[in-house]
Amino acid sequence: MRELEGEVEIEQKRASEAIKGIRKYERRVKELTYQTEEDKKTGLRLQDLVDKLQLKVKAYKRHNEEADDQANTYLAKLRKVQHELEEVQERADIAESQVNKMRTKSRDFAKAGESE
């Protein structure tokens, strides 16, 4: 009888330790489950941030392309105006040269008229 009681006590201790072990593992499973859920939430938040940043990058690229297009347009206009300015300067130089020739002829004509 004592022997059986001893065996029962040993089995009860084993069962008690097994229950403690099960509770310990259950707590660990709950902790890991919670941690996994938090990691998923963090992953989703990070993915949202990545998506938002990608949208910003696309917007910046689009703005950059628009600015490049505008700069190219302005540069083309500048080159056109510079070309027109060069043409106007050339015509002004020709006109000034003609005016000087006419002055010279006018002086020569005036001197010739005085001499006679």
In whole angstroms, what is the distance from residue 64 CA to residue 58 CA?
A: 10
At 48-101, the pLDDT tens digits run 999 999 999 999 999 999 999 999 999 999 999 999 999 999 999 999 999 999
Q: How confident is the model at residue 25 (pLDDT cuts 50, 70, 90)?
A: very high
Residue 32 tokens read as: 């890991």
The SS3 of residue 116 is coil
Q: How confident is the model at residue 115 (pLDDT cuts 50, 70, 90)?
A: low
Name the H helices within the chain: 2-115
pTM, whole model, 2 decimals?
0.55
In whole angstroms, what is the distance from residue 30 CA to residue 36 CA?
A: 10
| Residue count of the chain | 116
Question: 50 to each of 15, 40, 44, 54, how far by Cα in Å?
Answer: 51, 15, 10, 6
